[in-house]
Structure 1
Amino acid sequence: MDIKPTVDIINPVFQSTKGRLFAGTSGVLKTSSTRNAWAQLVNPLHSHVNLYVSFFALTNFSTKLVKADFVVNADPPGTPILSSDVSVLKLASNHKPVGQIFFNPHVSGSFSGGTVIGTRALSPLRTELGFRVDGRLIIEPGTNAMFFLTSRTSAESQIEFEWFESEAIF
């Protein structure tokens, strides 16, 4: 009997081979007792693709605790800044992401609308996976996912998003 080997490939690897896997970071987010910050992955309204989120990573560069609310479909305060730190993960690919990372490093007030679906306490001087979602979180056209950060003292953080884009999963 001739047995042929099989190999399991996780979906983000498969999507990367197609040039559809992207990653990017917000700028440095500066919070304090009077200032908040946020980073958001947005799928433009008429994009015609879905963003399948692989994971989020949250980094706290400070020696103080930072609180991160994970919120979907919210309107954040302040003026959004478009991150230029986004890249396709198949390095020889010329694909450009449809999804956009927006952030604001220091705002007063809170977000409006949306739904908080989780909260994380970011330990000092650590990077943590926020939620390992492996494509189960689907950001459809016109929707978004955001981390809204608060702290009691001055702190600096950064948020990383990884996602793949497709009209369908396969």
Structure 2
Amino acid sequence: MGKKPSVYVINPAFQSEKGRLFAGTSGVLKTSASKQAWAQLVNPEDSKVNLYVSFFALTNFSIKLVKADFVVNAIPPGTPIESSEVSVLKLGSDVQPVGRIYYHPSVSGAFTGGKIVGTRAMTPLTTIPGFRVDGRLIIEPGTNAMFFVYSESYAESQIEFEWFESDHL
């Protein structure tokens, strides 16, 4: 008997085939010297799945530099808005994500708690991958990952999240 051929399939493609890969964006985030903004991927407390983050992308629509702190398990300021711009990436599927994207487009104040694990500088008029983590960042029930965005002058930006979800725990 000969050796059977094997095919390497990247995990996001495998998860997409199963209808468990999701992507979404925040609304437009508007920052200035006195206003910050944030976007957060949240796994609800009563969830029975883990969220495995594939990647983040950060887009700066402005001609000014924008910075973003990547923070885990923080409580952001202001009243969260739930993004409606979220979809399963298996386009024929009607599966709805457990994970939620929340954001606040322009707020005064800082987040509380949490831990900054990285900072990104978004150069003008670009989209940059924030962190390519390929499922190594696991957002368990009741936890979250957030980008806290700020700038020295008026700027507009947006955050994209992609993640897959485990079978029920």
Bin of the TM-score, shorter chain as denominator length: over 0.9
1:32-111 matched pairs, under 5 angstroms:
32-111=32-111
Tell me how far apart the structure 2 counterparts of residues 41 and 128 of structure 1 sit (CA, whole Å): 18
Preserved CA contact (<8 Å) 2:48 2:168? no
User: What is the TM-score of this pair, normalised by structure 2?
Assistant: 0.97
Tell me how far apart the structure 2 counterparts of residues 83 and 121 of structure 1 sit (CA, whole Å): 24
User: What is the TM-score of this pair, normalised by structure 1?
Assistant: 0.96
Worse overlay, 123-132 or 2-11: 2-11
What's the counterpart of residue 13 of structure 1?
13
Tell me how far apart the structure 2 counterparts of residues 9 and 31 of structure 1 sit (CA, whole Å): 40
What's the counterpart of residue 118 of structure 1?
118
Once the two structures are superposed, what CA deviation does each residue of 1:45-85 show, in whole Å capped at 9, x if it has no partner?
01110000000000000000001000000000001000000
AA in 2 matched with 1:19: G
Deviation at 1:7, TM superposition (A): 1.1
AA in 1 matched with 2:58: L
Tell me how far apart the structure 1 counterparts of residues 26 and 92 of structure 2 sit (CA, whole Å): 23
Tell me how far apart the structure 1 counterparts of residues 44 and 66 of structure 2 sit (CA, whole Å): 29
State the number of aligned residues: 169
Once the two structures are superposed, what CA deviation does each residue of 1:108-162 show, in whole Å capped at 9, x if it has no partner?
0110000000000001000000000000000000000000000000000000000
Tell me how far apart the structure 1 counterparts of residues 167 and 107 of structure 2 sit (CA, whole Å): 35
AA in 2 matched with 1:81: I
Preserved CA contact (<8 Å) 2:50 2:138? yes
Unmatched tracts of structure 2, length 5 or more:
none
Q: Secondary structure at the match of 2:52?
A: strand
Deviation at 1:94, TM superposition (A): 1.0
Tell me how far apart the structure 1 counterparts of residues 56 and 168 of structure 2 sit (CA, whole Å): 21
Tell me how far apart the structure 1 counterparts of residues 144 and 77 of structure 2 sit (CA, whole Å): 14
Worse overlay, 3-12 or 112-121: 3-12
Q: Secondary structure at the match of 2:12?
A: helix
